[in-house]
Amino acid sequence: MAADSTRSIRSALAAAAIALTMAAASGAVHAQATTLPDMAAIAARFAPTVVNVSVTGSRKVSTADDSAADPGGEPDGSPGSGDADAMRDFLRNFQQRFGGLPPQVKLPVRGEGSGLIVRADGLILTNAHVVANAEEVLVKLSDRREFRAKVLGSDKVTDIAVLKIEAGALAFAGLPALGSALARTPANIPRVGEWVLAIGSPFGFESTVTAGVVSAARRSLPGNGWVSFIQTDAAINPGNSGGPLINMSGEVIGINSQIYSQSGGYQGLSFAIPIEVAQRVAQQILATGKVRHARLGVSVQEVNQTLAEAFKLDKPAGALVAEVVKGGAAEHAGLQSGDVVLAVNGHPVVMSGDLPAMVGLAQPGEVIELQVWRLGARQTLQARLDDSEQRAVQAAGAAAAAAPRSPEPSGRLGLALRPLLADEKRATGLTAGLVVEGVSGAAARAGVKAGDLLLAIDGRPVTSAEQADAAVAPSDKAAALLVQRGASKLYVALRLE
């Protein structure tokens, strides 16, 4: 009987504990719910500062070469791009059937996007691609007032442009704006998972507000190494370009710029230019009317786990230098192929795209401090940055067809190698290196190809097949091969088994 009473007491206590736990959890959830940000208030505050940008202009298009016909404006699927495509097709068909057209004709360009009023005197930030080829720019406020605007300057590299409402309109404009500062800068890098709002004119639907979260804080995109984008799943569509991305503290953290889509519309991947990038570009435009970008003079690639092991790094991080431009800032600073840049001016380089983004924000002539990993040790280098104008890279020649054959691929690397011939050295500009004539095993699995030129293993130059074999110790689990393929150099990570 006493045992039954004890069990009853224990059951009652357990039930009470569960009830208290559930009540506490419920209270915590309720407390969290009551502290959610007021998105309506944030939208109401910022919507008046977001404008619709309409552009009209013209672009010269070749009637003979279809590849040169680029209507400009926003990406495919934006308002106006279809009209230019249709006119281009019409002109091409007319030329084919009747002839008589000049080599180039002017096609009308119409574009539409968004912009953000950042100063009460009518200064507006938007995307460079929104106002490309613009001859007339019209901005429309949320209260439906319309004003003409002038393009003060634009930068295709970062896709930022600065507009100014014409002075004559300001006497009666009463423009809403963010304040005297160019824009509100967040105190910290956006946190993955935090809520954000986007405001713009998707497909011409003005003052549209969408919400989502930050999906990634620093995203590099192919073909655009100068910007480390904020990725979000907030719905962005053609027409949103140039509008703000706002966090729940009421801070503009980015300017919406691109979407990743196979349909031309939103598919969950949107990208915004960080506001600090937009600020620097706008400040240069206002000061000088143009934008200059610094250049280090390297090509870099990501450090994966295998490359990290090959270079004896604690973890995959940094930007692996695959090639150093001859005569550039990097070469003058002593940077070498095989170095891994870990930090710039004390700021960590986590992904390879961080390096060009950091350099791009600097000014030509500025001296930066690079922390690099070389042959298992840290080094510090000083680099005075060049201007970003591109320099020609000498193309590398292919191996001679009549060159003597080397043995079948063998060894742990799985490579058949031979030295460069004299004419191959002249054609490539190389003084040393080995021609890959066959691949198998680890090299084949890693994607090494016959015809590649092997230059170094784990950062150490190789000049003979015997030296290449000796570069890999029996205990090594990975190796990093620097190869030249055509005009490009890259590191290939081999997993040795």
- What would be the CATH architecture of the domain defined by 195-286? Beta Barrel (2.40)
Q: Is the pTM of this model over 0.85?
A: no
Window from 284-293, 326-335, 424-433 with minimum mean pLDDT: 424-433
User: pLDDT tens across 100-140, in order?
Assistant: 555 555 667 788 999 999 988 889 999 999 998 888 999 99
Query: Spelled out in words, what is the top-level CATH class assigned to the domain 415-495?
Result: mainly beta
Q: Which of 159, 339, 452, 458 is the catalytic position?
A: 159
Quick one: pLDDT at residue 44?
92
Q: Judging by DSSP bridges, how do beta strands 434-439 and 208-221 pair with one another?
A: unpaired
Q: Which of 81, 114, 129, 215 is the catalytic position?
A: 129
User: pLDDT tens across 415-471, in order?
Assistant: 989 888 877 887 788 888 899 988 888 888 888 988 899 999 998 899 888 888 888
Domain locations in the chain?
48-172, 195-286, 294-387, 415-495
Q: For residues 411 and 21, give the distance between their C-alpha atoms in angstroms, rounded to a whole number.
A: 63
Span 342-371, mean pLDDT? 90
- Among 450, 445, 442, 453, residue whose Cα is nearest residue 479: 442
Q: For residues 132 and 177, give the distance between their C-alpha atoms in angstroms, rounded to a whole number.
A: 24
Question: Span 48-172: which CATH code?
Answer: 2.40.10.10
Helix (H) or strand (E) holding 357: helix 354-361
Q: Which of 78, 207, 228, 241 is the catalytic position?
A: 241
Q: State yes or no: is 58 an active-site residue.
A: no
- pLDDT band at residue 308, thresholds of 50, 70 and 90? very high
Distances in Å between the Cα of 312 and the Cα atoms of 347, 373, 378 are 21, 9, 11
Which of 33-37, 264-268, 277-281: highest mean pLDDT? 277-281
Of 318 and 406, the structure prediction assigns the larger pLDDT to 318
User: Are residues 284 and 237 in contact, defined by beta-carbon separation less than 8 angstroms?
Assistant: no
Q: State yes or no: is 129 an active-site residue.
A: yes
- What would be the CATH architecture of the domain defined by 294-387? Roll (2.30)
- pLDDT band at residue 266, thresholds of 50, 70 and 90? confident
Polymer length in residues for the chain: 497
Distances in Å between the Cα of 430 and the Cα atoms of 406, 419, 465 are 20, 11, 17
User: pLDDT tens across 35-51, in order?
Assistant: 667 899 999 999 999 99
Model confidence at 60: pLDDT above 90: no
CA 263 to chain centre: 21
Tokens linked to 1: 């009987």
* Identical fold between 294-387 and 415-495: yes
Q: State yes or no: is 159 an active-site residue.
A: yes
Q: How many helices (H) and strands (E) does the chain have?
A: 10, 26
User: pLDDT tens across 67-83, in order?
Assistant: 433 333 333 334 344 45
